[in-house]
Amino acid sequence: MNISSLSRHMTHKGLLGNALAVLLLAALWGCGVKTNPVPPQQVVPQAITDLRYHLSEKGVVLHWSYPDRTAGGGKLGEVLSFEVFRAVVAEDSFCPTCPVPYGEPLHVSGGLLPEQGRREASYESSLLRPGSRYFFKVRSRTGWWSASADSNVVSFVWQTPPQAPEGLAAEPRDGGVALRWQPVTTLIDGSPAPAGLAYQVSRSRGGAGFEPLGSPVAKPEFIDSGLDNGKKYFYRVQAVLVQGDTTVSGGMTADLGVAPVDKTPPASPKGLTTVRVAEGVRVFWQAPTDKDLAGYRIYRRAEGESKATLVGEVNVPYTLFVDSKPPARGQEWAYAVTAIDQAQPANESAPTPEARVSR
């Protein structure tokens, strides 16, 4: 090899070595600043916006809807899992402007989304500490790196729940029910119940699917109106502790079934008239307009008697009765008519003024 060839060979090796050195430095530099890959908007779920909670004597139950869209607006078919973040702060040292000290997340399994409608998820947390403020938020994941933004935050102060009410009793009324129970005086740990104790009344038509009737009431009594007579309704009462913006649900009574009873009589008939005929005494009248009218009762009082006697009944729509066997004694008889409704037992109206007829 001559001197010129040797020079060219050494120059080529030098350039190759420099290139390799640059590549090695680039690789080492890349390892020093390596970060998690940013997932595309097409797979990141939208943030959950309907996180909510319910407090019972056992603790708290969180509920939320599965996100059905990605952050980019695309349709989401499956949620891999959820992360539930919880923070606990003593209420007497709570700082509204301080950062919330969330701990490591708790994981809840996800699943496929339905073709139609929404899917709900839930998480229950028990063994809560009285006098502590709790914070919860949730994230959803569709993969290892594809986590949603934080959900809305829910917060409450946990207090020891009250005992269940005792002695629930019901009085059926016309189109309604009157409920009464013994007042609750202690919490489930035996300590005295503080101020803010109330009662939530719930009702069901068939013994399942109870719905709360308005807001909790302060007194151990409740009147439910606007009901259908003869139909059975079921009731339960739960003690709740309302303090500030937090309502802790306590013990609940056993279910109690009761049917309202129609106790309103129909209006009295009008225009009572009596006529002496060959077959006896014909009695007729004008019908009242009550919708639940079932019939009429006809009463007769003979001359010298102080109390009228029931002599017959007529069903609607008839407004005529023939007394074929008037008493033989006396020269005059007095008749009166009442209306009865469809209740069992029937409600009876006041009698009409008497109409008299002579022998």
Assigned domain for 36 exists: no
How many distinct structural domains can be found in the chain?
3
Last residue of a domain, one of 158, 179, 214: 158
- Per-residue model confidence as pLDDT tens digits over 193-215: 998 899 999 999 988 899 999 99
Residue 18, judged by CB atoms within 10 A of its CB (0-12, 13-18, 19+), counts as exposed
* Same domain flag for 72 and 153: yes
The pLDDT of residue 40: 66
Which pLDDT value is given to residue 315?
97
Q: How far apart are CA 136 and CA 102, in angstroms?
A: 8
Q: Are residues 138 and 182 in the same domain?
A: no
Q: Are residues 65 and 154 in the same domain?
A: yes
Examine the domain organization and report whether 190 and 146 are in the same domain. Answer: no
Whether 66 is covered by a domain: the verdict is yes
Whether 17 is in a domain gets the answer no
Q: Looking at the structure, do residues 148 and 213 belong to the same domain, yes or no?
A: no
Contact indicator for 251, 262 with CB cutoff of 8 Å:
no
131 is a domain residue: yes
Identify whether 113 is part of a domain.
yes
Residues 153, 177 within the same domain? no
Among 124, 158, 192, which residue terminates a domain? 158
The average confidence (pLDDT) of the chain is 89
With CA atoms as reference, report the closest residue to 259 among 176, 167, 346, 181: 176
Joined tokens for residue 27 = 């690789």
DSSP 74-105: -B--EEEEEEEEEEEEEGGG--TTSPP---SP
Question: Does 329 fall in a domain?
Answer: yes
Give kind and range of the element (H or E) at residue 32.
helix 3-32
Co-location of 171 and 146 in the same domain = no
Q: Count CB atoms within 10 A of the CB of residue 80.
A: 15
- 112-116, 148-152, 321-325, 329-333: segment of lowest average pLDDT: 329-333
**Phi, psi for residue 15 in degrees, rounded to 5:** -65, -40
The reply to whether 195 and 287 lie within a common domain is: no
Question: Domain end: 158, 182, 203, which one?
Answer: 158
> What's the CATH number where 80 sits?
2.60.40.10
**Beta bridge mates, 222:** 179
Map residue 5 onto helix, strand or coil.
helix
149 and 222 housed in the same domain: no
**Cα angle at 67 between 66 and 73, to 5 degrees?**
165
Model pLDDT for residues 29-70, shown as the tens digit of each residue: 444 455 556 566 668 999 999 999 999 889 999 999 999 999
Asked whether residue 32 is assigned to any structural domain, the reply reads no
Shared domain check, 57 and 154? yes
Both tokens of 97, joined, read: 């402007």
| One domain for residues 144 and 171 | no
Say whether both 141 and 208 belong to one domain: no
Question: Does pTM surpass 0.85?
Answer: no
Each residue's pLDDT tens digit, 70-120: 999 999 999 999 999 999 999 989 999 999 999 999 999 999 999 999 999
Decide if 280 is inside a domain: yes
Q: Which domain holds residue 346?
A: 270-358
